[in-house]
Structure 1
Amino acid sequence: MNALKPSRSLAIMTFLHSFQPGGVERVALRLAGAWAEAGCEVVTVMGRRDGPLAAEASDAVRYLFAPRFPPAVAFESVWMVPYLTAAILRENPDVLFCAGNTYAIVAVLVRLLLGRRCPPIVCKISNSLDRKDFSPWMGALYRLWLRIQALHIQRFVGLAEPMRPEMIAALDLPPERVAIVEDPAIRQADIASGERTRAPGDGRLFLGVGRLNPQKDFGLLIRAFASFAGARDRLVILGEGPERGRLTELIQTLGVADRVELVGHVPDTSDWLRRADVFVLSSRYEGVPAVVIEALAAGTPIVATDCCVSMAELLDHGRLGDLTPPGDVEALAGAMQRILRWPRDVAAMRAQAARFTIERSGAAYLDLMAGVAGRAALPWTSAEQSPMTTRATEATAEA
């Protein structure tokens, strides 16, 4: 691979389909910006230019856009492969960062095409590998796919310590090929101070956030809300996606169209989280959901399905929020009403959220990638000494 460069100029390449909304994409864009601002050479290869997350793009990152070809949207992973392959040969990065599970197919295909010319790949596991929602035959194919990934990707990164045993087992890996870097879901500045802003009116405001797709199971949330909601209660769901039509029909069928609103994509959910009485995660599966970390940072009461190995630890085994089984309407409805009577430890919620910042985890990723790339140690030896953490600490002190 590359000749040794000055340690502050680690060359990182990552890739995304577009700037369309998604937790994986938002975190990847923010990480790329943080790495570039810390002195690394960061290139992000993009399949398309469209999407509101372009506002998250850092001027310190270089973006390479694939040629425009509208039909490629239907098979964007395949379309990404030849352009990313050419970019790697041209730019010769030290490491290729794969932002989440859904991008692993691109990373594997590029590795197969380039062989030893491919830089080492670091892949973030952004969703649970234990897919109980799959049929038996789909589950068998998925397990085979995970083993194929393990043959071609050098290092896998989980988002919280409870993910480690699941990753080692599902990918059939030795422990040294699995690392844990806590999910960099928020910035240090996103951790709220002071009291939340109460929504106007006498009713309760329940909030859901995420892409309108089967994984998020907003149909479960809507049914749970409809089973108990009073005349002044409201459910607001922030996000866009392919299930809007089906969810709109469900809202009409349940007779709650006057109390449930599908707002669409919102660039910054922090105001909604501060106003909400309860944040609800209804997902069938997750990795470490960034939106739960955002709710912790806001001090908003949380109800969540126990949809991944990390959820119980994230909510301190029920101390910071109520957990219910995935897919259980009655249990979710009960928790949504019960949580409002719970004592709320806002300081503990915000302390938990502080584990999951870009400043802290971004530096840990750099140390990990430097090691994978066979580079000399970076100028800092821990997240506390990194330029990212130093700037965040200075900003907090000034505030």
Structure 2
Amino acid sequence: MQSEHASGQSTRGVLRIDNTLKITIIMAGYGEGGLEKHVVELANGLMRHKKEGVQVCVIADPMYGVRFAQDITFMPFVFSGSRRNPIALFQLWRTIRQTRPNLVHAHGNKAASMIGSLLPLLKVHSVATLHSRKKNVRMFRAFERVIAVSKVSTLNLEHPGIRIVYNGIAPSDDHSQASDGAWHNAPRGKRVIAVGRLVPVKGFDILIEAWSKIDAYLLILGEGFERPRLESLIADRGLTDRVRLAGHQHDVLPYVRSADLMVISSRYEGCPYVLIEALQQNLPVASTRVGVMPELLPAQALYDVEDPSALASTIQYALTDLDAFKTTFEAAFTHASTQLTLDNMLERTLSIYKELF
């Protein structure tokens, strides 16, 4: 069996013995965002196909080991150093060789950069996932297939093997809702939720600036180093009675179910899980025109980045007649419930793996 990398490098010698698909997934991150959630759910979900000969190994920072299913082989690896460090690259090559894969799947730019440089030595089939739009994506050219979580993520990448696979989540059978107390007893019709790490890319500073013009209650779920700055912005603009930083919540669905609108104010995104969670709960979303949002949301729900006036106008428009605004989401709600599912994400990813054999 023989195939060619996009770069023209041969993968002679790659064999599937006894129809076993041995996948080694590499994640070089340290965060608590969508990339990490994606890798955990992908790896655990792939193990449902164990009876079909699928074996999964994950190489990631030791902190993530407890999140993977027991039948997944977890290989701890510290990725804190430079992606070009020859000692780290040698150690990573040796760790991958120990897993004896016939396919490697790298997630994110750092993992793709390190694995891409090792592919000529590994002689295995290769897939990399691009989780958001990046300026520098040349490290993805070495891989046979590139999975992107949105069409816009691929705009800076020319590659013959690009495949779009939206993130997906498993529907929840828990129908609990956050209490009115979590919303400071704000009335229905005026409850707006935002979810994300308190970091600049999420644009919560712009959201707070816009809130001076909005007669509604905003609950921001998340934690991060920008908390002191955001707290100061809320106080300086006299919004302490209408804007609350509620901290990190392990389960955001009760808050989603008790909200009237979600707002995504990010400066850039890929395919955020909070968007899918909202749409699967039939919660309309107002968002910056970034990432997957123009592909999934109606035009009237989108506004430009760094434009607090447009943000305020979009939210005011939505809250003025929520029923009418929600009607424009019928296609988005249907698409989320039928296509943006964990099962669909797993099947699409498996089909891409199987293209290589």
Match of 2:172 in 1: 190
Q: CA deviation at 1:121?
A: 2.6
Match of 1:181 in 2: 165
Match of 1:396 in 2: none
Q: Give the whole-Å Cα distance in 2 for the aligned partners of 1:86 and 1:261.
A: 48
Matches within 5 A, 1:163-242: 163=152, 167=154, 170-174=156-160, 177-184=161-168, 186-187=169-170, 189-190=171-172, 200-202=185-187, 204-229=190-215, 233-242=216-225
Q: Give the whole-Å Cα distance in 2 for the aligned partners of 1:337 and 1:85.
A: 54
Q: Give the whole-Å Cα distance in 2 for the aligned partners of 1:118 and 1:237.
A: 46
Matches within 5 A, 1:147-158: 148-158=138-148
Match of 1:132 in 2: none
Q: Is 1:115 paired with 2:120? A: yes
Q: CA deviation at 1:349?
A: 4.2
* Compared CA separation, residues 48 and 6, structure 1 to 2 (3 A): same
Q: Which stretch of the first structure deviates more once superposed, 337-346 or 267-276? A: 337-346
Secondary structure in structure 1 of the residue aligned to 2:249: coil
Check whether the contact 1:221–1:282 (CA below 8 A) recurs between aligned residues: yes
Match of 2:70 in 1: 59
2:133 counterpart (128, 135, 143) = 128
TM-score normalised by structure 2 residue count: 0.82
Matches within 5 A, 1:211-360: 211-229=197-215, 233-308=216-291, 310-318=292-300, 322-340=301-319, 341-342=321-322, 343=324, 344-345=326-327, 348-354=331-337, 355-360=339-344
Match of 2:56 in 1: 42
Q: Give the whole-Å Cα distance in 2 for the aligned partners of 1:10 and 1:209.
A: 37
* Compared CA separation, residues 110 and 291, structure 1 to 2 (3 A): same
State the one-letter code of the partner of 2:304: P
State the one-letter code of the partner of 1:97: H
Provide Cα deviations, 1:74-117, integer angstroms capped at 9, x if missing partner: 76996975543222111121222123xxx322332233245232
State the one-letter code of the partner of 1:218: F
Secondary structure in structure 1 of the residue aligned to 2:211: helix
* Compared CA separation, residues 117 and 98, structure 1 to 2 (3 A): closer
Check whether the contact 1:43–1:64 (CA below 8 A) recurs between aligned residues: yes
Which of the two has greater helix per residue? 1
Q: Which stretch of the first structure deviates more once superposed, 114-123 or 21-30? A: 114-123
Check whether the contact 2:131–2:149 (CA below 8 A) recurs between aligned residues: yes
* Compared CA separation, residues 194 and 268, structure 1 to 2 (3 A): closer
Match of 2:4 in 1: none
Q: CA deviation at 1:26?
A: 0.6
Q: CA deviation at 1:353?
A: 0.9
Q: Is 1:13 paired with 2:3? A: no
Check whether the contact 1:80–1:106 (CA below 8 A) recurs between aligned residues: no
TM-score normalised by structure 1 residue count: 0.74
Secondary structure in structure 2 of the residue aligned to 1:37: helix
Matches within 5 A, 1:17-96: 17=28, 20-39=31-50, 40-49=54-63, 56-66=67-77, 73=80, 81-96=89-104
Q: CA deviation at 1:289?
A: 2.3
Provide Cα deviations, 1:324-351, integer angstroms capped at 9, x if missing partner: 1111101111111221214224764431
Q: Give the whole-Å Cα distance in 1 for the aligned partners of 2:351 and 2:113.
A: 23
Q: Give the whole-Å Cα distance in 2 for the aligned partners of 1:303 and 1:348.
A: 15
Check whether the contact 2:268–2:290 (CA below 8 A) recurs between aligned residues: yes
Check whether the contact 1:306–1:325 (CA below 8 A) recurs between aligned residues: yes
Provide Cα deviations, 1:274-296, integer angstroms capped at 9, x if missing partner: 11121000011112222111111
Q: Give the whole-Å Cα distance in 2 for the aligned partners of 1:327 and 1:242.
A: 20
State the one-letter code of the partner of 1:274: R
Instruction: Give the gaps of 5 or more residues in structure 2.
Output: 1-12
Q: Is 1:97 paired with 2:105? A: yes
Q: CA RMSD in A?
A: 2.9
State the one-letter code of the partner of 1:242: F
Check whether the contact 1:34–1:362 (CA below 8 A) recurs between aligned residues: yes
Identity %: 25
Secondary structure in structure 2 of the residue aligned to 1:38: helix
Q: Matched residue pairs, number?
A: 332
Provide Cα deviations, 1:297-329, integer angstroms capped at 9, x if missing partner: 111121111113x322201444xxx11111110
* Compared CA separation, residues 242 and 194, structure 1 to 2 (3 A): closer
Secondary structure in structure 2 of the residue aligned to 1:307: coil
Check whether the contact 1:88–1:118 (CA below 8 A) recurs between aligned residues: no
Check whether the contact 1:110–1:118 (CA below 8 A) recurs between aligned residues: no
Q: Which stretch of the first structure deviates more once superposed, 55-64 or 119-128? A: 55-64
Q: Give the whole-Å Cα distance in 2 for the aligned partners of 1:351 and 1:89.
A: 43
Q: Give the whole-Å Cα distance in 2 for the aligned partners of 1:195 and 1:236.
A: 14
Provide Cα deviations, 1:198-245, integer angstroms capped at 9, x if missing partner: 76443722111112222111111111113333xxx4211111223222
